[in-house]
Structure 1
Amino acid sequence: MDNEPLPAAGHAEVRIVAATPEVARRVAEVLRRCFASGEQRSYPATREGGTRLHLTLDTAHAAEPARSWLAASAPTDHDQTHADEV
């Protein structure tokens, strides 16, 4: 992951891992209602099944729900990395 290129300024790469493709698509749809996005890409998640969906979001063009949330949110001292993140 250290060699993975960063997305362009104002964009975010989102990875969704779900037990079924339908669940992954529903999460992606919610994100698309908040941000402009590129084409999604789907991959098998594991040998046991599941779906991994990759989506590029344009955070510079936020829709109203995200615009309101982004304006009200700010990082705090309590923000922490999840155990599986670096």
Structure 2
Amino acid sequence: MEHEALPSDEHAEIRIVAARPEVARRVAEVLRHCFASTEQRSYPAGPEGGTRLHLTLDTRHAAEPARSWLATSESSEQAQAHSDEV
């Protein structure tokens, strides 16, 4: 099994999957208001249609309220992948 390389420290790789491209773009826009990010890349989401957007967020350059949320949040050791994730 191949593993994706992890993003560098303080960065997060985000994948947004939506039935309609405009919905995925709205979610990406909200994230870009909270964090510095790369340009989004879009791909088809699968045989049933839809859109998948990928972008990289730089969490070092967070705007409020993301900055305060990051400062107070704790990572969950119990977080599990969705059934369709590897």
| TM-score > 0.5, shorter chain as reference | yes
Q: Percent identity over the alignment?
A: 72
Pairs within 5 Å for 1:4-43: 4-43=4-43
Pairs within 5 Å for 1:28-67: 28-67=28-67
Q: CA deviation at 1:24?
A: 0.3
Q: Is 1:82 the counterpart of 2:81 in the alignment? A: yes
Read off the aligned partner of 2:14 and give its amino acid letter.
Answer: V
The unaligned stretches of length 5 or more in structure 2 are: none
The unaligned stretches of length 5 or more in structure 1 are: none
If each structure's strand is expressed as a fraction of its own residues, which one has the higher value?
A: 1
TM-score of the aligned structures, taking structure 1 as reference length: 0.86
Read off the aligned partner of 1:24 and give its amino acid letter.
Answer: A
**What SS does structure 1 have at the residue aligned with 2:22?**
helix
C-alpha RMSD of the superposition: 1.7
CA distance in 2, matches of 1:80, 1:9: 20
Q: CA deviation at 1:52?
A: 0.4
